[in-house]
Structure 1
Amino acid sequence: MRYIILSFLVICLIMPIKAQQAAVQIVKGKITDEASKQPISGVTIRLAEEETTISSLSDSSGNFKLSKVPLGRRQFIVSSMGYEPTILSDIIVTAGKEVNLNISLRESLTNLETVEITYHQYEGIKTTNNDMLSVSARTFDMDETKRYAGSLGDPARMAANFAGVVSTNDTRNDIIIRGNSPNTMLWQLEGLNIPNPSHFGSLNSMGGSISMLNNNIIDKSDFMTGAFPPQYGNALSGVFDLRLRDGNNEKHEFLGQMGFNGFEAGAEGPIGKLDGASYLINARYSTLSIFQSLGLEFGTGGATPEYTDINYKFTSPVGKQGSISVFGIWGRSSMDILASEYDPEGQAYGNEYSNRYPRYQTNITGLSYTHKLGINTTANFVFGYSRTNERFDRDSVSQNDPSHTIPDWHWRFETNKFSGVFSLHHKFNAKHSLIAGLIEDVTDYSLFNRRIQHGVNEIILNDRHDQFGLTQAYAQWKFRISNALSMVSGLHYQYLNLSNSNSVEPRIGFKYETGGSHIIGLAYGLHSQMDNVLTYATVTPTPSGNTYTNESLGFMRSHHFVLSHDWNISSNTHLKTELYYQRLFDVPVTRNPSSFSTLNLGAETIPILRDSLVNEGVGRNYGLEVTLERSFDKGFYYLVTGSFFSSRYRGSDGIWRNTAFNMGNVLNILGGKEWKVGRKENILGLSLKVSRVGGRYLSPVDVAASAADGEIQYDADNAYSIQQPAYFRTDLKLSYRKEFKRTTMELALDLQNITNNENIFRQEWNARQLRVIEVYQQGFFPVPFIRFTF
């Protein structure tokens, strides 16, 4: 198998081009007003190159089309009377796929008779989809998920390169933002609040091993790290606001791909004779068994992760005023972690005395309808259904007879959520715009979690079948005081019927742009979030039966302040600095004095549950973030991010401690270069990433308690007092893009952890040897990748 794959890659590299190459492609898209979301006609979009006449005007529906655009990375200028011009840079044009762009323009406060473009190149790239964002936000697209070394096409892993974001777990894609738990962030898809979108993503966390989100279907999306505007709720740290692109509504296109994320096939194109209707679907199946046959280890020893997912979107216009889309994600993952196949040198999960059988399935389905109510008003309705089904069984294996097993842990977690979302965008004039909305989520859940201690004592941790509703409403107003100064203010409201809890949350943000070179932002937000459903369903046994002492828990809350400065040093380089302070309060802690706090949960595969919790804990996060970024220009880019922060909490014992996510400092250095080889359309690329993260804090292991329980137990009186060594990793990615007549081939080799640095993963209790062992993360791991679009 090893030689077959290597031979295949070599053949692809030297394959001769027998047909004449097409040197041009079609670039098309739609242009809308950023505030009202209405299409804009008469907008000029042209290729920004000397001695070219390639240009187009948008029609009454905002659509435009440029023919015969040369292949390669291109730049486009978009301008219209009454709107601020913008420049789109680093747009990749290939032979295998037409380019589709969604462009938003901001109305100018000054009526100019002529349009003069004096705009920084970087501005067009970093402009977010949501024009209400003032600080702590950036946009990303599909290309970034593929470009950065070590990202593996995963949006969550890609986000770990941004300032304020930390990831020190090679086997998972948890997102730690400004010292907060991964559980305090929100995933949103096409306006729908969604559950954990990861394979092997347990209900008690918001991360997993591999994302179910397919980067080939993701459109330009927003990522926020704090003090976000009122339309986002039930989150304390950050938001992933994901958008899916529409399929090509004029031409059928196909994709074939193989890499770490799996074998993949994709198709898109028009639907029958419906004018403007399109489909887009991608399916993927795991390839990790192939990597294992090549002798490559990725932290699971002899166990083979298996997963499958499908991403899709169907879109159609409805008359002249509306459009409808159906979108969704389905994923399934499983793995048998057997004691007989345990490898202590190369396996992060499992041990030699237990068999584990995790099974996960997630389904997210949505229907979105957008309707134009007038020339300045757009309404959007989204109806969604999501289901998660998590099953886990663990058997202990006899030391004397490995064929003899005893069940010792068993859980079944199932949720079914029905969602309705309404939003209204209205622009009064160039100065004033409004967004208001209502979100209703109703969740049915069935949770059962049983542990059998030493094969004798049965402990019921969860046993609850019930339903709860979370209602959210918001209104936010943007006031453009002048061309330089704007303000966004509003309120977010939440009501949780499970505990009859309410929360009214004011948000406000200011942005001041000084002559185009400097942008100063200031924002404040009060945010709140309900706890994990497993916490509410934790059992408290009593002589009269099980009770649920956590069901009265209200929202945990935070005040978040951010001061931002963004300096456009040149047309393609900027330096951004942010200071922030976050005060968390009403955090669930134990009623009796202890060091426990839910702020430390969210990065575990096995649920950590406590009963009798009260909203009396506090925490504080503060820090400085720096980003130096050069956009892709003349074949070269770089991104340097640094974060220096403190994350501490206080439990019910009144003692301030480090949180589990208080790494203290993070440094990421990324860079890449492309060279034209052979014919000018063929590209050879190199990208490098170096990461250093301060060590995580751990609690000392209580050896006596661990020996008595059979599971690892910690010294709670000295919680998070021991700091691990710093995490260090270097990734190198080699890539090659070859253009054929109507096909594009992309090859890549992602060399992860090229220094083979031994980073500590976690501490594990060896129940047979009665001692603590350290488990290390993934060593050197090469990941090949091949992709065809046609």
Structure 2
Amino acid sequence: MFTYCVVYATNAFAQQGTQTIRGTVIDRESKQPLIGATISVSNGSIIGGATTDTEGNFKIEKIPLGRKNIKVTYIGYETLNYPDVMVTAGKEVILNLSLVEAVTKMNEVTISYDRKKDPTVTNNEMATVSSRSFNPDDTKKYAGALGDPSRMAANFAGVVSGNDSRNDIVVRGNSPNAMLWQMEGVNIPNPNHFGNSFNTGGPVSILNSNNIGKSDFFTSAFPAQYGNANGGVFDLVLREGNNEKREFLGQVGFNGFELGAEGPFSRKSKASYIFNYRYSTLALMQKIGLNVGTGAATPLYQDMNFKVAIPTKGKGKITFWGMGGFSSIDLLGKDVDTTEINFYGQRDQNTLPRYRTGVAGASFEKSLTSKTWAKFTLAASHSYSKFQTDSLALPSDNIYRKAQGYFQDNKYSAVLNITHKINSKNSINAGFTHDLTQFDYFNKDVYNKGTIDSVRVNQQGNVNLTQAYAQWKHRFNAKFTTNVGLHSQYMSVNEQIVLEPRVGLKYALNEQSSINAGYGLHHQMLPIYNIFVQNAQGQQTNKKLDFTRSNHFVLGYENMLTQTLKFKIETYYQLLSDVPVNNYPSSYSSLNVGAAFQPSDESDLVNKGTGENYGVELTLERYFNKGFYYLITGSLFDSKYKGSDGIERNTAFNTKYAANILAGKEFALGKKGTILYANVKFTTIGGRYFTPLDFMQSQARLIAVYDKSNAFSEKQTAYFRMDVKAGYRKDFKSSSMEFSVDFQNVTNHQNIFSQGYNKYRNTISYNYQQGFFPVPTFRYTF
């Protein structure tokens, strides 16, 4: 495929091409098409324009290639400015735009902050604080992101990663397990390869940035639409395929070989499809006999993402969508280097994990009246992981079973959302979500050379989680806006019902700046696995645990310093209560679960723990202008908890600070359509607190033994990493070619990840994170 793409590209027309920009314009609340809206395209001066038809559609042909600014105006509505739209020869630009009706009459003179000038405005109109739009193109634009939405989100203010091997999202000191993932409005399982139902991250994302549309990311006090999460929300939207023209994608990178296609089903049909498939690069190289230098421990994975959109009569639409993937790796003891600690394996054991994850859904949306819009979705998801660990009796390598487990969730979801626009000042939104999860879990450890079993979980069953919400947006005037909502949820195992008020306020100081404030009460259930963990007597003592409770308070200030430069600062305080801890004095708290790969097997828990997170964050973002762009974020925070022993400690995610500087520059070479670009990323994160090793006990037992009485009392050195990305993009008449190399950790800085005990050397050893690593990518669209 690589050879074909290069040959095809070099024989394509070399002259500069043009492209089409088209899409729809609708009312933000009612979803009704806006007839006669004016769209203009500029790059310093206006170079094209159009007006929308009776269905809200527009089409502007023969737009020169390069980055362009889009402006949409409509009488009685706030103006929309959409900067930094990349126009390439290989793909049409399709924009789905929404306008907000102006509060004031045309003859009134007002000064108001136009939030639609902000390219980071969220899809969710009820969002007031701690939210931003996620642009999937940023995963391709910035160094270090590797096309992964989670790794890109780690650059946002309030978000910390610091784990090069996984893409866990740590929001404001919360566990990554406190994240909620949604796709098309449906709660979905962990969308990562080598992930499972009791965590939310993994080494490689199943999500494909080529299929994702503009989405929302929340870090606190999120709208009433979202529940069962105490940390953050990633609300993903899959984009629709081109319904007028067939387009194709070929991509080769370290993450995989990828093929994509989109287009209409026929020339006369407005129905469209988009489909992308990816296969592990290292696995393919191994299959054709190439030595990739990883021995048997080669990560194998493949995934797909798709969406089909079919318009119906009466301003309706049916969509079918989904994503899924398989992954596996063999960690064999014979391949382990005994001279150092190896995070992924041990010399005296073999571990064979297998994973699969998928979700598929069907949605029907329709305008019920000129002011009312509804969407109903049915979806099913599947998550399965299993492992088998065998001990090797050295030096004979005789095999004894050490541990075994499997974890399966089949979830069936129904979601209804209704939006009604009362007038330009008032709109309401309500809906419900019901998730039925059928699970089958088994997990055991085996001792004494495979003769004694210790079963942690052995349970099948059903869990129902029902959520409902209602929220009201009121605009007192062009300056002052309130969002008020109420969320409720019920879980069948503990039979608990909770009500959660949510409030957001926003006041525009002038055209450029605003202050905002938000409050939210949130609750989250334990992972189903932890609910059914059994103690030494075989009793399931966690089944009646209440939800963990969290109060969020946020105060922020935003200022559009120029049309392309935005400053934002937020302060926050989060109070957690009813946290599961041991029923005897100990340092354990469920707030720290998620710091390791394996699940927590703690039983006999009670809701008596507490925690708090507070801090200040800032963002300075320059959108693309004159070939230059950057994103600077910083966070200062503290994250503490109390276990059942009543001692206040640092959480496993308390790094105290995090800072990111990302910047890029594009250079036009010769004729238009040829671009050379470079960008750089600097990240520094305070060292995480960890539990010290009890060296004497480790020596005696020949395994790592930790001093839990001093949990999270010692601090690692600070994390630092610099990534550099350079690339070349060439536009031909009807295709585009791009080649880039992402040089990760260019200084080869040694960042400590974990501390362990090496029984072969009888020393405390450290596992270091990724060193210098170049990641090339070739991409061709036509």
Structure 1 equivalent of residue 465 of structure 2? 470
**Equivalent pair of 2:112/2:479 in contact (CA under 8 Å):** no
**Equivalent of 2:280, from 274, 280, 286?**
286
Q: 1:250 to 1:643 in 2, by over 3 A?
A: same
Structure 2 equivalent of residue 88 of structure 1? 82
Give the whole-Å Cα distance in 2 for the aligned partners of 1:249 and 1:116: 40
Structure 2 equivalent of residue 687 of structure 1? 679
- CA drift of 1:764 comes to 2.8
Which range moves more in the overlay, 739-748 or 705-714? Answer: 705-714
Structure 2 equivalent of residue 729 of structure 1? 721
- CA drift of 1:515 comes to 1.7
Query: Quick check: 1:571 aligned with 2:563?
Result: yes
- CA drift of 1:33 comes to 1.3
- CA drift of 1:430 comes to 0.5
Matched letter for residue 485 of structure 2: G
- CA drift of 1:457 comes to 3.1
Give the whole-Å Cα distance in 2 for the aligned partners of 1:614 and 1:163: 33
Give the whole-Å Cα distance in 1 for the aligned partners of 2:104 and 2:781: 44
**Equivalent of 1:640, from 632, 640, 660?**
632
Query: Quick check: 1:481 aligned with 2:476?
Result: yes
Query: Quick check: 1:371 aligned with 2:366?
Result: yes
Query: Quick check: 1:755 aligned with 2:750?
Result: no
Structure 1 equivalent of residue 261 of structure 2? 267
Q: 1:397 to 1:495 in 2, by over 3 A?
A: same
Q: 1:94 to 1:389 in 2, by over 3 A?
A: same
- CA drift of 1:50 comes to 5.6
**Equivalent of 1:745, from 720, 729, 737?**
737
Q: 1:42 to 1:697 in 2, by over 3 A?
A: same
- CA drift of 1:519 comes to 1.4
**Equivalent pair of 1:246/1:314 in contact (CA under 8 Å):** yes
- CA drift of 1:606 comes to 1.7
**Equivalent pair of 1:506/1:525 in contact (CA under 8 Å):** yes
Q: 1:711 to 1:416 in 2, by over 3 A?
A: farther
Aligned counterparts, 1:291-302, within 5 A: none
**Structure 1 counterpart SS, 2:270:** coil
Give the TM-score, by structure 1 length.
Answer: 0.95
Which range moves more in the overlay, 261-270 or 53-62? Answer: 53-62
Structure 2 equivalent of residue 587 of structure 1? 579
Give the whole-Å Cα distance in 2 for the aligned partners of 1:605 and 1:399: 26
**Structure 2 counterpart SS, 1:729:** strand
Matched letter for residue 771 of structure 2: G
Matched letter for residue 259 of structure 1: G
Give the whole-Å Cα distance in 2 for the aligned partners of 1:120 and 1:497: 44
Give the whole-Å Cα distance in 1 for the aligned partners of 2:110 and 2:262: 38
**Equivalent pair of 1:204/1:604 in contact (CA under 8 Å):** no
**Equivalent of 2:406, from 412, 415, 440?**
412
Give the whole-Å Cα distance in 2 for the aligned partners of 1:183 and 1:281: 30
Q: 1:213 to 1:141 in 2, by over 3 A?
A: same
Unaligned runs of 5+ in 1: none
Structure 2 equivalent of residue 528 of structure 1? 523
Aligned counterparts, 1:313-392, within 5 A: 313-343=307-337, 348-392=343-387
Matched letter for residue 270 of structure 1: P
- CA drift of 1:53 comes to 5.5
Q: 1:663 to 1:53 in 2, by over 3 A?
A: closer
Give the whole-Å Cα distance in 2 for the aligned partners of 1:678 and 1:481: 53
**Equivalent of 2:160, from 163, 166, 173?**
166
Matched letter for residue 272 of structure 1: S
**Equivalent pair of 1:120/1:570 in contact (CA under 8 Å):** no
Which range moves more in the overlay, 777-786 or 607-616? Answer: 607-616
Give the whole-Å Cα distance in 1 for the aligned partners of 2:227 and 2:703: 36
**Equivalent pair of 1:89/1:121 in contact (CA under 8 Å):** no
Structure 2 equivalent of residue 76 of structure 1? 70
- CA drift of 1:118 comes to 10
Matched letter for residue 480 of structure 1: R
Structure 2 equivalent of residue 786 of structure 1? 778
Give the whole-Å Cα distance in 1 for the aligned partners of 2:386 and 2:702: 22
Give the TM-score, by structure 2 length.
Answer: 0.96
Structure 2 equivalent of residue 399 of structure 1? 394
**Structure 2 counterpart SS, 1:660:** coil
- CA drift of 1:141 comes to 1.5
Give the whole-Å Cα distance in 2 for the aligned partners of 1:296 and 1:756: 21
Q: 1:525 to 1:379 in 2, by over 3 A?
A: same
**Equivalent pair of 2:411/2:436 in contact (CA under 8 Å):** yes
Give the whole-Å Cα distance in 1 for the aligned partners of 2:117 and 2:723: 29
Please give the per-residue CA displacement for 1:203-234, whole angstroms capped at 9, x wherever unaligned.
22100011100000000011010010100000
**Structure 1 counterpart SS, 2:504:** strand
**Equivalent of 1:665, from 637, 641, 657?**
657
Give the whole-Å Cα distance in 2 for the aligned partners of 1:630 and 1:53: 24
Structure 2 equivalent of residue 241 of structure 1? 235
Please give the per-residue CA displacement for 1:518-538, whole angstroms capped at 9, x wherever unaligned.
111100000000011111110
**Structure 2 counterpart SS, 1:330:** strand
Q: How large is the Cα RMSD of the aligned pairs?
A: 2.3
Give the whole-Å Cα distance in 2 for the aligned partners of 1:34 and 1:711: 59
Provide the aligned length of Structure 1 versus Structure 2: 778
Give the whole-Å Cα distance in 2 for the aligned partners of 1:386 and 1:735: 38
Matched letter for residue 613 of structure 2: N
**Structure 2 counterpart SS, 1:569:** strand
Structure 2 equivalent of residue 145 of structure 1? 139
Please give the per-residue CA displacement for 1:657-700, whole angstroms capped at 9, x wherever unaligned.
00000000001011000000121111111010000000001001
Which range moves more in the overlay, 19-28 or 181-190? Answer: 19-28
